[in-house]
Structures are given as C-alpha cells and as structure tokens.
Amino acid sequence: MAAFHFMSLPRRFLPCAALLLFALFSAAVAQATVWTAVQGDVVTLEHRSAAQPRLQCFGRNWPVQALADGHWRGWIGVDLKTRPGEYTIQWSDAQDVLRVKAGKFRVSRITVKKNMAEFDAATLKQIRHDQRAILHTYDMHVAADPAIVMHGMPVDGVISTPFGAQRYVNGQPRSPHSGLDIAAPEGTPIFTPLAGKVLLREAMYLNGNTVVIGHGNGLVSVLSHLHDFTVKQGQWVRTGQLVGHVGQTGRATGPHVHWGVRFFRARINPANLL
Ligand SMILES: [Zn+2]
C-alpha cells in the first residue's frame, strides 16, 4: 500500500491539499452546535459573536437579543407541519444545525351542526375573508422588546383539545389543531397572556368572536369563540388585562377559548412558551 506523502503530489495539487487540511482543521475547531426541537416548538439558541449576528432559518430572519459579554440569544419557530429532519441555522459568522423531530399528537373528533361543516358559496366567502383577516395580522409590525414568552394561560380552565391534534369534523379529516382549546364556564374572564396591541377584533363564522393580539417580535396570540369583548381594535393592552369572556360563538361544541400562537407565521404550541 502506497503511503500518502505531500511531497509525492505534483506541485499544482499542493494548494488543494493545504485547503483540505485547513477545512478539516476548521471543522474540528468550530463544530456546529446541534439544536433539537419538536414540531410546534420555539427553539431558544445561544451564540458567541463580537458584533450583533443575523440569525436565519427556514428562509427567514429570526429575532436576536444581546446578553452579556458578546453572547447572544436567538429564537426560531418550528411550524407544526415542519417535515422532521435537519435544517441549517445560519448565523452571520457560523452555522448550526436544527434537528426537528415529529410531535406526538392525538386524534380529535368533533360533531357539529351541518352548517358548521358544509358551507354554501356565501359562507365559504365569509370564511375565506375571516382567514385572510387573521393571516394579515401575522405580518403586522408591533414595536416591543424581545420577550418570546407567555406569562400564563389566558383563562383559568382545562385543556379540552391539545395543540397539534389531528382533527376530524363530522368524520372528515381537517387541518391539525393549531392552538390550545381551554374549556371554562361561559362568562369566565379572559386575560392577555402577554402585553401587546389589539390587531383585530371581529365576529367570525368559524372562529366566532375573535381577538388578535400582536406581542411584537413576530409573536401573535389569537383568542377565539369569546362571548364578548372588553378591548377595541388598535388598543394597547398590558399583560393580564381583561379582553373578554368565555363563550361558544362560531364552531364550538361547548364554552371554551381557542388560543393560537404564531411566531413569524409558524404555528407554535402556546404551552411551550409558558
Ligand atoms: Zn381550537
């Protein structure tokens, strides 16, 4: 077996060999950190960098906050339907790896009146309008300090349908449940889980009375099926402020609040931010 000697290489290969050695050496020194997440998680990362780094993943930028001594914290939202696998986390000056695992979600079957499962053209138009109005709020800018956290449940109740549950409505498969359903008696007060701005307040066909609160940094709470509202659109609310009361407006099988959280559009499990 021939021993490998640089000196035996033709001169023109020397720069390539040097580059290869350098690459191997760099890889050994700056090893990519592997961060693990489940579908619907918000991953909290830490990074060392002399200047404020940019953080990118899933084709978009994510918020970064300064800690002490050249340390930075960043957050990435892993949408409920992200395909399990490995993704590149791109800092301005380094690369990490995000390993996404499949969530373990249960099946949820509900039975509702026919007009809440099968829609005529006019109703379908209304439902699409409602969906677009909510979608529009996910891209609204709200000025706030980085605080990717929730200070509590919006209502004192029990979780009746967990996040991610595979939904069947009158036997038909539907999109997975993108929030938490919290059951509580009609009229129970509902509070903002984090300060922010009321981006939308509207009566909707499926969601019923809905309040959307933008918390800043791409974080948005959607609270649906309310009995009534105690806040106005455009109003700033503090953490724990009353926004309305539990009801069963829209498509609901009993009094509850549907609490959905989006982080730059990614469907996040609200329980993971508590
Ligand atoms: Zn729900």
CA of 197 to the centre of ligand 1 (A): 22
Percentage above 90 pLDDT, the chain: 82
The DSSP bridge partners found for residue 71 are: 48
Distance CA 119, CA 25 (A): 62
Ligand 1 is a single-atom ion; what residues have CB below 5 A from it? 181, 258
Percentage above 70 pLDDT, the chain: 89
Same fold, 30-101 and 107-273: no
DSSP 135-146: HHHTT-------
Tell me the CA distances in angstroms from 142 to 48, 49, 195, 220, 226, one per residue in order.
28, 27, 11, 10, 24
CA of 208 to the centre of ligand 1 (A): 11
Among 146, 116, 98, which residue's Cα sits nearest to residue 263?
146
Written out in words, the top-level CATH class of the domain with range 107-273 is: mainly beta
Q: Which residues are within 8 A (CB) of 99 and not within 5 positions of it... i.e. 6 or more apart? A: 34, 35, 36, 37, 85, 86, 87
Among 218, 245, 213, which residue's Cα sits nearest to residue 229?
245
- Judged by DSSP in three states, 17 sits in helix
CA of 223 to the centre of ligand 1 (A): 9
206-235 tens-digit pLDDT: 999 999 999 999 999 999 999 999 999 999
End-to-end CA distance of the chain: 61
CA of 72 to the centre of ligand 1 (A): 35
The reply to whether the predicted model has a pTM over 0.75 is: yes
- Judged by DSSP in three states, 175 sits in coil
Pair 35, 43: CB distance under 8 Å: yes
Domain map of the chain by residue range? 30-101, 107-273
40-90 tens-digit pLDDT: 999 999 999 999 999 999 999 999 999 999 999 999 999 999 999 999 999
Q: Residue 5 burial (CB < 10 Å; 0-12/13-18/19+)?
A: exposed
Q: What is the dihedral of CA 82, 88, 90, 94, to 10 degrees?
A: 150
- Judged by DSSP in three states, 193 sits in coil
Fold of 30-101: Immunoglobulin-like (2.60.40)
Pair 25, 252: CB distance under 8 Å: no
